[in-house]
Amino acid sequence: MKKIHVFFTLIVVLFFFISSSERSDDDFFLDPNMAVGDLLEIKFVKHGELYMKNKNSIIKKIDIELADRDTEKRNGLKYRSFLKENRGMLFLLNHQEEYKKIDMKNMRIPLDIIYINQFDTVFFVNKNVSPMREIEKIDFPSTIKYVLEINAGMSEKWGIKEGITKIAWFLNENNEN
């Protein structure tokens, strides 16, 4: 009986060794050079819609995801590999200096970053901001109330103009924020 037990154990160990040698190390361990964020893909959550208008005509309507909590503001669109053209993230700022905390670290996609003042008017557009880098900090003389992040190039394509384009946004009825 003892011989059968030893023989069976030997077969199991041999089977495990053969099956594990066919796999790569990546099947068992994470690459130590890979950040945990590289494994994440955060999905877009539609909280509402944002309308942009020049003078009296609507130039664009997009779906928005809100960033109103500290964690949401800190993460923004980080860890996302793409953003559909008609979507954006709207940061709701509690105080003037919060806009300076927005950065492109751990971003995967280039963005246009739109700063909107207390009159719901586009104050400044930082176009084609490259991912994975620091954003030059700008001191605005106006009070910044919102920051809107959209895909790079969309502000030009949609005709967003500083001092002219205004926004209005609405939450979904079932939004929990």
Average confidence (pLDDT) per 10 residues, the chain, 177 residues: 59 54 44 53 92 95 96 89 95 86 84 95 94 79 91 97 97 72
Residue 174: its pLDDT value, please?
73
CATH 2.60.120.1140 fits 36-171, yes or no: yes
> What does DSSP assign to residue 81?
S
Q: Which two tokens stand for residue 157?
A: 């394509």
Residue owning tokens 């670290």:
105
- pTM: predicted TM-score of the whole model, two decimal places: 0.75
Residue 109: its pLDDT value, please?
93
Residue 135: its pLDDT value, please?
76
The answer to whether 75 touches 40, Cβ cutoff 8 Å, is no
Residue 165: its pLDDT value, please?
97
- H/E/C letters for each residue in 121-162? EEEEEEEEECCCCCCCCCCCCCCEEEEEEEECCHHHHHCCCC
